[in-house]
Structure 1
Amino acid sequence: MAAPKKKTGLISHGIASQNRKGRFNYTILETVEAGIVLKGPEVKSLRAGRAQIAEAYAGERNGEVWLFNSYIPEYQGGVLSRFDSRAPRKLLLHKKQVEKLLGAVARAGVTLVPLDIHFNDRGLAKLTLGLGEGRKTVDKRHAIAERDWQRDKARLIRNKGRDD
C-alpha cells in the first residue's frame, strides 16, 4: 500500500494570482485565455500562490504578445535556481488572436490588461487577458456606488424577517 501524499499547500488548479484593480480601472470589453511560457521553479512559485500581477501589463514585442512587470518570486523549496522575478514572459496565443488583439490596441486605443493567472483542469498555467478601455473617475465612483447599493440591498433582504 502506498503512503499518502504529503500536503504541500500548493495550488493544483484555481486562481494563483489576481489583478483586483484591473476590472475597476478598466472597462473590460473582451477576455482571452493565454498560456504562459514559464520555467519549472516559476510554476512551483505560482502554485504556492506567491505571484503578483497588480502592476503587470501586456504588450507587443516582435509581433508576439508578452507579459511585462509581473512578479513571480524565486521558489524557496530547496531548488537552487536563479531567474529574474520581473522578466518578460511570452504569452501563447493563436496567430489570429494575436492579430486581433494587437489590431484593437493599435486602432481603438484600448489596453491589454492581465486579470488573473490560474491553473486549468489539466494543471497548466493560464493568464486571463482583458481588452480594456480606461475608466474615468466619474465611472469609478458610479461603480463604487453600484457595488455599495448591491451590498446594502443584500443586507436588507437578509435581515427582512428578523426583529431587531
Structure 2
Amino acid sequence: MPRPKPATFDKKKIVAENRRARFDYSIEDKFEAGIVLTGTEVKSLRFGEGSIAESYAEVSDGAVWLINSNVPEFSHGNRYNHEPRRPRKLLLHEREINRLHGAVAREGMTLVPLSVYFNAQGRAKVELALAKGRKAHDKREAIKEREWKREAGRLMRDRG
C-alpha cells in the first residue's frame, strides 16, 4: 500500500505564486508536479524570475501541460536561450493524470497552478490545484469572511 502524501509540500524556495487563484477559484484538491525545463529556464527561475499569474494547465495526449506561464529569457543564455511563453510539460503519475482528465471533462473543473518552487532536493516543482470557478456572490462572501477574521483578530489583540 502506498504511503499517503503529506498535506503540504516541502517548499524550500518559492519562485512564483498565483495569489489571485485562491480568490477566483474554490480549490478542491492539490497536486505536486515536476516540470520539464531547459537549462536556461532553470537558471532564470533560480534568479527568482517567472510568472504564473495568467497561466493554466490542460490535459492533452495523456500528458498535462502548463500553458501561458512566463519564464523570461536568461540574460547570459546567448543562442541557447528558450522561448519565454512556451508550453511546458508537467510530470505526474498516470493515475493522477487520469483523475485530472476525468474531473476536467466530467465535472467542469479547472487546473490552476498555485505556485512554482524548488523543493529540498533543488528540483523545480509546480503546485497544481483542481479548482472550480467562484461566482461573484461567492467572492463577496469570501471578502466578508476575511475582513471579519481580521477584525476579530484585531479585537482580541486589543483586549488582550
**TM > 0.5:** yes
Correspondence for 1:75: 74
The structure whose Rg is larger is 1
CA distance in 1, matches of 2:50, 2:97: 25
CA distance in 2, matches of 1:109, 1:126: 25
Residue 159 of structure 1: SS of its match in structure 2?
helix
- Deviation of 1:155 (Å): 1.3
Correspondence for 1:95: 94
Identity of aligned residues (%): 52
Correspondence for 1:123: 122
Cα RMSD between the aligned structures? 1.3
TM-score (norm 1): 0.87
Correspondence for 1:38: 37
1:94-113 mapped onto 2 (5 Å cutoff): 94-113=93-112
- Deviation of 1:103 (Å): 0.8
Residue 54 of structure 1: SS of its match in structure 2?
coil
CA distance in 2, matches of 1:14, 1:153: 32
- Deviation of 1:13 (Å): 3.0
Correspondence for 1:20: 19
- Deviation of 1:79 (Å): 3.1
- Deviation of 1:112 (Å): 0.5
Query: Residue by residue, what CA displacement relative to the aligned partner does 1:112-140 show, whole Å, maximum 9, x if unpaired?
Result: 01110011110101001000000000000
Match of 1:129, as an amino acid?
L
Aligned length: 149
Residue 29 of structure 1: SS of its match in structure 2?
strand
TM-score (norm 2): 0.89
Query: Residue by residue, what CA displacement relative to the aligned partner does 1:74-107 show, whole Å, maximum 9, x if unpaired?
Result: 122x332321100000000001000010011111
Please say if residues 55 and 67 of structure 2, whose CA atoms lie closer than 8 Å, have aligned partners that are also in contact.
yes
Q: Which structure 1 segments of 5+ residues have no match?
A: 1-11
Correspondence for 2:5: none
Q: Which structure 2 segments of 5+ residues have no match?
A: 1-10
Correspondence for 2:140: 141
